[in-house]
Amino acid sequence: MNSIVNENDFKYYMQDIERHYIGCRYSYEEILNNEMVPFKFKTIISRYLKTEVSYETTLESHFYYLTRDTEDYQIFRQLRARIRVMQYKDPKKQERGFCEKVYTIEQLAKLSPSEKEQMGMIIRELILSKLALFGFQI
Structural domains in the chain plus CATH codes: 7-135 (3.30.465.10)
Distance CA(11)–CA(31), nearest Å, equals 9
pLDDT digits (tens, 9 = 90+) for 51-64: 889 999 999 999 99
Residue 24 clears pLDDT 60, i.e. is over it: yes
Closest CA to 24 of 136, 109, 125: 125
pLDDT digits (tens, 9 = 90+) for 73-115: 999 999 999 999 999 887 666 667 889 999 999 999 999 999 9
Asked if 22 and 126 touch (Cβ cutoff 8 Å), the reply is yes
Q: Is the pLDDT higher at 95 or at 134?
A: 134
pTM: 0.86
pLDDT above 90 as % of the chain: 75
Per-residue confidence band for 50, with pLDDT thresholds at 50, 70 and 90: confident
